[in-house]
């Protein structure tokens, strides 16, 4: 089955700085990589995803890059704001499109 590892587990940044979270996956057949943001007590919210036919995707202040050869993908948040503080999860699908999640990264944006 799929195995997803995520680093770092915690990340503290100053408001306005950038944040980068990295994930690796094991199944070379995986071709879809979503990122979820989860605020305390709330549901995981899909914020961006990337399919294997592209190497980068951007949506305003967030971007995701994918390196299929190395089997890793990253989330980049630029110009961080206090509302970006949350836990972020990467994921990769396996058979049946069920998602295997990374362990999460707790991001704290300090004003």
**Interatomic CA distance for residues 84 and 90, integer angstroms:** 16
Q: Is 98 in the site for another protein (CB under 8 A)?
A: yes
Q: Among candidates 3, 4, 2, 13, which has minimal Cα distance to 104?
A: 4
Site string for another protein, 45-64 (x = CB under 8 A): xx--x---------------
Q: Is 97 in the site for another protein (CB under 8 A)?
A: yes
Q: Number of residues in contact with another protein, rule: CB under 8 A?
A: 23
Q: Is 43 in the site for another protein (CB under 8 A)?
A: yes
Q: In Å, what is the CA distance from 57 to each residue of 14, 41, 60, 74, 97?
A: 24, 28, 10, 11, 21
Contact 76, 87 (CB under 8 A): no
**Interatomic CA distance for residues 49 and 56, integer angstroms:** 10
* Residues 1-20 within binding reach of another protein (CB under 8 A): 6
Q: Is 28 in the site for another protein (CB under 8 A)?
A: no
Q: Is 23 in the site for another protein (CB under 8 A)?
A: no
Residue 19 φ then ψ, to 5°: -130, 140
Q: Is 37 in the site for another protein (CB under 8 A)?
A: no
Query: Which residues lie near another protein (CB under 8 A)?
Result: 6, 32, 34, 36, 42-46, 49, 89, 91, 93, 95-104
């Amino acid at each position: 089955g799929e195995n997803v590892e995520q680093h770092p587990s915690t990340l503290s940044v100053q408001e306005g700085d950038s944040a980068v979270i990295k994930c690796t996956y094991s199944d070379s057949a995986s071709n879809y990589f979503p990122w979820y943001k989860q605020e305390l007590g709330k549901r995981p919210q899909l914020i961006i995803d990337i399919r294997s036919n592209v190497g980068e995707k951007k949506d305003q202040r967030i971007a995701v890059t994918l390196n299929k050869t190395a089997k890793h993908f990253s989330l980049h948040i630029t110009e961080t704001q206090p509302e970006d503080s949350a836990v972020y999860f990467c994921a990769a699908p396996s058979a049946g499109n069920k998602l295997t999640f990374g362990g999460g990264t707790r991001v704290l944006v300090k004003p």
